[in-house]
Structure 1
Amino acid sequence: MNAPAPRTGDQLASTVCGTRVIVVRAPAEGAPEIACGGSPMVPASSQGDAAAPAQSGGGEAATLIGKRYVDAAGTLELLCTRSGTGELTCGGAPMTLKTAKPLPASD
């Protein structure tokens, strides 16, 4: 059974690290698997407010709070609300950090 399609406003939590995200933009069709650290993400409400797993020494955050991540096609956009050590993926492909659009020159 496939996971339900993500909708704008859905809050998702990782099952392997402390990462939490909000769906900012979702594809109109299809239900891509959104995963973090290799495990599918679950609705944040089912995860509760459990403490994030302890990070082993020197573990750097792979997902950064306040940053937006997009899939290769640009149809799915996630906003990270809690940092974690897992990498975000969509349909098995790594999601990339969304960069700001450059402003036009005002010479």
Structure 2
Amino acid sequence: MSDYKPGSRWKSAVGTGEFVVVRPPSGEGELTCGGAAVLAHNAAAGPASDAPAGSEGTAAGKRYAETESGIEILCSKAGTGDLAFAGRPLARKDAKPLPASD
């Protein structure tokens, strides 16, 4: 298991995506992108292959979260491959709507 501390930086092993942990998981598990474990941002290894076809990928500036573990990830560089934690997909979080003013 890797140490997913708030502010820690990670990159995809199968694409160009880069990520920052906003909220760490409450339990054990592995963060994956495109089905492969993410690498520490300072790891020498680059993308080994392409992400599986049909994946939505990640968008820069968007947050992704998984409710069971509580993990929340910020995508700092767009890439291919979908994020998952402990085999459960992370969903993109949409911005909260502002309250209506009268």
**TM superposition score normalised by structure 1:** 0.78
- Provide the C-alpha distance between the structure 2 equivalents of 1:47 and 1:94, rounded to a whole number of angstroms: 26
Structure 2 counterparts to residues 29-44 of structure 1, below 5 A: 29-44=26-41
Residue in structure 1 matched with residue 70 of structure 2 by the alignment: 75
What is the number of equivalent residue pairs in this alignment?
Answer: 100
Change in Cα spacing, 1:79 to 1:94, as seen in structure 2 (3 Å) is same
Unaligned 5+ runs, structure 1: none
Larger Cα-atom Rg:
1
TM-score, structure 2 as length reference = 0.82
Q: Which amino acid letter does the alignment assign opposite residue 18 of structure 1? A: T
1:54 shift after superposition: 8.7
Contiguous gaps of at least 5 residues in structure 2: none
Aligned equivalent of 1:100 = 95
Distance, in Å, in 1 between the alignment partners of 2:98 and 2:61 is 21
Two-structure CA RMSD over aligned residues (Å): 2.5
Moved over 6 A (4+): none
Counterpart-to-counterpart distance in 1, 2:21 and 2:28: 13
